Amino acid sequence: MPPKKLFLASVLFFVLVTLPLIGSVGASLELWSQTYGGTGGDVAYSLVVTSDGGFALAGVSTSFGGFWLVKTDSYGNMQWNKTYGGGTARSLIQTSDGGFAIAGVSSSFDGLWLVKTDADGNMMWNRTYSEGSKWDTYSLVVTSDGGFAIAGVSSSGGAVSADFLLVKTDNQGNMEWSRTYGGKSNDHAYSLVQTSDGGYALAGRTYSFDVGQGDFWLVKTDAEGNMLWNRTYGGKNIR
């Protein structure tokens, strides 16, 4: 039996948990589903399982304004929600103190915004980063030294190309350094990990080094963000 179709009057935060049915390939049993939002458009871009077995979702809410963080129990029942100014939250992690770090884009200026909260979602501090270019973000990680690393896109807008962007901060969000990687066309980083040698790997899409309509691009750096090597993956029919 196929999963139930859910039709929503507006774009809402949405969580669906399924369980595979034994002996039924491709089928699933819906355990529960929950929606979160108001009369406007509300979109979740990042989801984590929390240390208490619940969930946290981050994104943007036009119903309530700006960055939106929702905390639920293990069944998706909302425990609390918080908004933090204008902008869009793109990546969420839970930190070792039980709080959360959220990276996104501020609507007040063309730059990145990093928000740190306590375990109840109360803002502890926030930092913005731009350095004169339009910066966008898609991925956030806690680094081995307790700081943060953010990956995304650096662009001056218009016809000027965009590059992979990597920003490194300390544990209070103060920027330690930033690096860009790219060519003459548009290159966008969407995912980031820290590697066992203390460096970083960034993955995304390149139009500078592609052979078709854009290719996968993997960039490996050292601990200071200096590129060690890069690889492209794709073909002429990749779209």
Domain 40-233: state its class.
mainly beta
- Name the token pair of 186: 């548009």
Mean residue pLDDT across the chain = 87
Predicted local confidence at residue 9, as pLDDT: 36
User: 236: buried, middle or exposed (CB in 10 Å: 19+, 13-18, 0-12)?
Assistant: exposed
Predicted local confidence at residue 65, as pLDDT: 85
**Least confident among 20-34, 95-109, 129-143:** 20-34
Which pLDDT band holds residue 4 (cuts at 50, 70, 90)? very low
Residues 27-53: tens digit of each pLDDT? 668 899 999 999 999 999 999 999 999
Residues 189-198: tens digit of each pLDDT? 999 999 999 9
Average pLDDT over residues 199-226: 92
Q: What is the pTM of this model?
A: 0.85
Find, among 187, 156, 151, 188, the residue nearest to 167 by Cα.
151
Q: Compute CA distances 223 → 31, 145, 202, whole Å.
A: 43, 11, 13
Domains of the chain by residue range: 40-233
Angstrom distance (rounded) from CA 47 to CA 30: 19
Helix (H, G, I), strand (E, B) or coil at 127: strand
